[in-house]
Structure 1
């Protein structure tokens, strides 16, 4: 039987800090995804105004993912060393200035630079969020808050086509970048001004008992480059990187190609495709919330905190595979959209469970580092998905493109299942 927690009662000051942290993370996360989606929403206006080709727009759409993925490597070290307050705050300022600068773009080269800068600035968001959850929530209760902060992703994607087109129609595409950039600056001020990490010396005995900072009841030592390097010795690290590659690849097939797929392969008109493309991401918002709550319940019933959360990731990812196949092969558009909605629901459930898994697999000093490495693997898949999907669809059709995504996700699920078996021990003693 799993060990019972030392305390199930949340001290009032801890509860207040948890609530404030999650509200701030969700607000920042929604802005994060609004900024990512602005270029896609304003695609046609920008191409017409700047005279860009489809190929050039494809490069702009992919530039963010490559810089974002590569920056996960140093960000993991920094979030454990510097802490989430200042790293995320600085990231917010950088990405918001880059977003606003997009509104000033008059050439392809300028836009390419600001999209790369956007990826660099947004890189700390989710590793910092994972660190916040590990700081303020005990291991037994991290699934629900992880699901909450992950729900900002599909919520931002769903809000973008609702909020930005009226703004663009009333002004111009430039103002979509100016306004979302300004929102990010306001969020940066709020984050830095309000959020604080727990300080052990200021906690009461009851607060320390609830948080259970680590198994020995001691605060986690700060991480660093040596801790980050040592993580690569463990197969769990590689399993999480490969596993997230597969699930994010399939998710980004739909994230980047769903409207085009519905219009090209399913022959929907613009209005039909717009409505049909919004439904799956609203389902994804629900998926992140439900998965967080469910993974906590599974983890509490499991003899191993790692196995419980890992199995939740595996089941959700295999579900993505199972529903992608009929989505690709079904003749009915209604059936296809219904299956895609379930895939996006499960994709966000898988993502939420994967981030909560990082908080229990990682050593206390390496939560941000391991979360960022997993995210690095994921966004290599996210960067590859739109390019490979477009090539396959152009050469054959979207059916083999979707089935390729399903195969990637299946391989990812197997990586989680067979490689992520036990937690990584604290590395401090090994590094002396």
Structure 2
């Protein structure tokens, strides 16, 4: 008995160490993801000046990334469910990093648009992969914190990107900045593919996870995928609310990610060097928000709050408060007060963002987690892609960011209402009869 107990303790201890390493690797991959997204924002002024692009054209360049990213979400989830996160996330990292190198070699808007499209396609699997991997390594009631840490990359990246990228930009120019960041990403992608293994492929992991309350199957993680899984997800109101509601999250996230440096430079009069440091604090608040989105939900569940309600509260509350913070951002009389309001936006919108991903990892079964996450992210980025385009057009027409920020506020509040109304219950697993060839609409399941 003592030997068995010691053996179990050793296995669980090893699994815990591996889980920590996996989450750290996800954080690193996601951080590189967002540093890459930030490069064009930081170099906006220099790139547009050298290539002769207007604000509207730069808005288009920003938006094509989002549309490519959004549509690439559709195959990303099924590919993750079919081929596994090791291969899909690793290849995605290499592809999007190669796109950064190509962007640094661009000499016209056509080449730049092509590089941005490739960047969006490569980055698409990242956050659905986070949801899938965390669902494999952690039980439902404990997924909030690790997924919050992994998705914190969406604020850690933009927080550390400005000082790093502005130094590269000022010291070596925007082209070298793109190429250096791209080469680093390619190396990280290769390391991921060499080191990572799914728990389904290792018996020792399965035994340790079982002792920690996580069920796994002793099979290759690659599973056949069927369009019936999407059809099943799309039969449920919860899925549609998540798809539409995430638009409000990404609209604000991407507006600030793409246009905040230009806003601080043109509307608030900060220099490029000052912007690099001014952006650190808002994204530090965003990182706290990413962690809180998972922590709050986990804490509510531990206190007996129903899972759906616990996962919905951070999303709805974050969208409401974060959306309202865009109003003082637009109307603040001084740069200092504008930065305070921006910190509020980043804190609460990222609570909602993290909460949305934890929701995807909790409200669907393991088989469809990545597919639900990719559908949600598709909705978010398809709608959110209009943020940089609309903002560029509004700023070009009005000469000010005020109206663009007020639009973001309205979008976020409407999205909060959609989550509150539409997310009512978990999505049940696809019935086995459907997987065996029977139409899922004939199965004994009801639409939520």
Secondary structure at 2:199 match in 1: coil
Contact 1:200 1:208 in 2 (8 A): no
TM-aligned CA deviation for residue 259 of structure 1: 2.9
Contact 1:213 1:219 in 2 (8 A): no
The answer for the alignment partner of 1:3 in structure 2 is none
The answer for the alignment partner of 2:182 in structure 1 is 181
The answer for the alignment partner of 2:50 in structure 1 is 49
Q: Whole-Å Cα distance in 2 between the matches of residues 161 and 270 of structure 1?
A: 9
Q: Structure 1 residues 331-340 or 349-358, which shifts more?
A: 331-340
TM-aligned CA deviation for residue 166 of structure 1: 2.1
The alignment status of 1:18 with 2:19, answered yes or no, reads yes
The answer for the alignment partner of 2:385 in structure 1 is 383
Q: Deviations over 1:154-200 (max 9, x none)?
A: 11112222112222333332221221111111111111111111127
The alignment status of 1:166 with 2:154, answered yes or no, reads no
Q: Whole-Å Cα distance in 1 between the matches of residues 11 and 353 of structure 2?
A: 26
Q: Structure 1 residues 200-209 or 330-339, which shifts more?
A: 200-209
Q: Structure 1 residues 13-22 or 162-171, which shifts more?
A: 162-171
Q: Whole-Å Cα distance in 2 between the matches of residues 259 and 98 of structure 1?
A: 22
Q: How do 1:355-374 residues align onto structure 2 when only pairs under 5 Å count?
A: 355-374=357-376
The answer for the alignment partner of 2:443 in structure 1 is none
Q: How do 1:201-350 residues align onto structure 2 when only pairs under 5 Å count?
A: 202-203=203-204, 205=207, 207-213=209-215, 223-266=225-268, 268=270, 273-350=275-352
TM-aligned CA deviation for residue 209 of structure 1: 4.5
Q: 1:199 to 1:55 in 2, by over 3 A?
A: same
Secondary structure at 1:351 match in 2: helix
Q: Structure 1 residues 250-259 or 139-148, which shifts more?
A: 250-259
> Unpaired segments of 5 or more residues in structure 1?
1-6
The answer for the alignment partner of 1:110 in structure 2 is 111
Q: Whole-Å Cα distance in 2 between the matches of residues 312 and 398 of structure 1?
A: 28
Aligned length: 425
Contact 1:238 1:419 in 2 (8 A): yes
TM-aligned CA deviation for residue 413 of structure 1: 0.9
TM-aligned CA deviation for residue 218 of structure 1: 11
Q: 1:25 to 1:201 in 2, by over 3 A?
A: closer
Q: 1:426 to 1:217 in 2, by over 3 A?
A: farther
Q: How do 1:394-405 residues align onto structure 2 when only pairs under 5 Å count?
A: 394-396=396-398, 397-405=400-408
Q: 1:155 to 1:103 in 2, by over 3 A?
A: same
Q: Whole-Å Cα distance in 2 between the matches of residues 217 and 243 of structure 1?
A: 36
Q: 1:100 to 1:260 in 2, by over 3 A?
A: closer
The answer for the alignment partner of 1:72 in structure 2 is 73
Q: Structure 1 residues 13-22 or 161-170, which shifts more?
A: 161-170
The alignment status of 1:125 with 2:122, answered yes or no, reads no
Q: Whole-Å Cα distance in 2 between the matches of residues 43 and 400 of structure 1?
A: 21
Contact 1:249 1:384 in 2 (8 A): yes
Q: Whole-Å Cα distance in 2 between the matches of residues 371 and 61 of structure 1?
A: 23
Q: Whole-Å Cα distance in 1 between the matches of residues 12 and 54 of structure 2?
A: 57
Secondary structure at 1:425 match in 2: coil
Contact 2:201 2:218 in 1 (8 A): no
Contact 2:67 2:381 in 1 (8 A): yes
Q: 1:85 to 1:285 in 2, by over 3 A?
A: same
Secondary structure at 1:199 match in 2: helix
- Choose from 427, 433, 446 the match for 1:424: 427
Q: 1:367 to 1:8 in 2, by over 3 A?
A: farther
Q: Whole-Å Cα distance in 1 between the matches of residues 43 and 421 of structure 2?
A: 43
The answer for the alignment partner of 2:32 in structure 1 is 31
